[in-house]
Amino acid sequence: MGVSLRLRMVPGRYGIARLAQDAAVPDWAGGEGLWAVIQADDEITVVCLQERIPDEIESSRDWLCLRTIGPFAFDATGIVSSLVAPLSAAGIGVFVLCTFDGEHLLVAERDMAQASALLDANGHRFVR
């Protein structure tokens, strides 16, 4: 077994929205809960509580969020792979965001029970 992490659930249901590369950052992107705006050369991705995403915006909804309890050294290795590898091997897709002090792993709500069991079986522990 590799890295053993402590994880907690982040409250809320999240959506992942795609905007055009030249779109302005919308007012609805920020607010309570986890939120992130990522600009790439061909698109803008917004992650936020799904109830803030307007219906007409292209998005994927019903994601739940797990967060590692850090902080971790920036040069620490194996953090993300220890979370993603067992889920990927089971066919569970994830969306990962990293912050200064930890990782946020978004898992589709329909897969969360299985994902939690797999992470627990791989030595990770859930705390409240």
Indicate the CATH number of 6-126 among 3.30.2130.10, 3.40.80.10, 3.50.50.100, 3.40.50.720: 3.30.2130.10
Secondary structure (H, E, C), 21-65: CCCCCCHHHCCCCCCEEEECCCCEEEEEEHHHCCCCCCEEEEEEE
- Which one has a higher pLDDT value, 31 or 2? 31
HSE-CB for 31 with a 13 A CA cutoff: 15
Q: Model confidence at 128, in pLDDT bands (50, 70, 90)? A: confident
Q: What mean pLDDT is predicted for residues 12-32? A: 96
- For 86, phi then psi, to 5°, come to -65, -30
Domain boundaries, the chain: 6-126
Give the C-alpha separation, 103 to 28, whole Å: 23
Give the pLDDT of residue 100. 87
Whether 70 contacts 98, CB under 8 Å: no
pLDDT for res 82: 95
